[in-house]
Amino acid sequence: MFADEVGLKDARDQLGTILGFFPRVDAKLSTLLAIDTAMLASLSASVPSIHAVSPWMAIAPLATAELLVASYVHLYRGGFPDVKGGQHSIVFFKEIAARTESKFIEEYSDQTPDSLRRDVLGQVWRNSEILVEKYRSLRLAFVCMALGAIPWSVSLALFSLSRTNVQVLVQHP
């Protein structure tokens, strides 16, 4: 009996370790969301009059928008990963919520330390899969944002130059 309780404690500790990584990933996802949004907002704010934008000048901002939209898609996937799995688990939140309160308490109380340890270890495995999915989405969102920084910088420079040229032409025909 004592070995089962130690095994259950170890399994819960392992689950706690895995769950401890989620806030780190979520913080990075939130940071990238803020950066993407700031890039898109600054790009939008710097767009000159539509008449001042040539077709060639539109390439860089369109590339930026495309890469930032791709980054947003990956941020969404990282923020809302697939939570399928954990069928019949009394540890997995989605499966707990599918039960009534009394049914959950009854089924949880009926668990042996060994069956509970196995369920917790199943959640360690499933949460590890979810965490890998979140990290993959974070990496892809970061790559899209970093690649988008190149045409974003070019866009801001072109838009700035186009305003300067227009002002110079207005002041000195």
Residue 77 lies in a domain: yes
Residue type for 168, please? V
CB 15 within 8 A of CB 124: yes
Residue 23 lies in a domain: yes
pLDDT at residue 168 tops 80: no
Residue-averaged pLDDT of the chain: 91
Residue 110 lies in a domain: no
Q: CA 43 to CA 65: how far, in whole Å? A: 9
Which token pair is 160? 């700035």
Over the range 123-151, which residues count as b (16 or more CB within 10 Å of their CB) and which as e? Answer: bbebbeebbeebeebbebbbebbebbeeb
Q: CA 63 to CA 148: how far, in whole Å? A: 7
CB 18 within 8 A of CB 124: yes
Residue 46 lies in a domain: yes
The domain in which residue 61 lies consists of: 2-82+132-165
Q: CA 80 to CA 126: how far, in whole Å? A: 15
Number of domains present in the structure of the chain: 1
- Of the candidates 131, 144, 128, the one whose C-alpha atom is nearest the C-alpha of residue 69 is 144
What pLDDT digit, counting tens, does each position of 126-155 carry?
999 999 999 999 999 999 999 999 999 999
More confident residue, 113 or 49: 113
- How confident is the model at residue 83, as a pLDDT? 87
pLDDT at residue 76 tops 80: yes
Residue 116 lies in a domain: no
CB 126 within 8 A of CB 92: yes
pTM of the model: 0.84
Residue 146 lies in a domain: yes
Residue 67 lies in a domain: yes
- How confident is the model at residue 165, as a pLDDT? 58
- How confident is the model at residue 170, as a pLDDT? 46
Residue 151 lies in a domain: yes
- How confident is the model at residue 51, as a pLDDT? 78
pLDDT at residue 2 tops 70: no
Reported residue count of the chain is 173
DSSP string, 134-171: HHHHHHHHHHHHHHHHHHHHHHHHHHHHHHHHHHHHHH
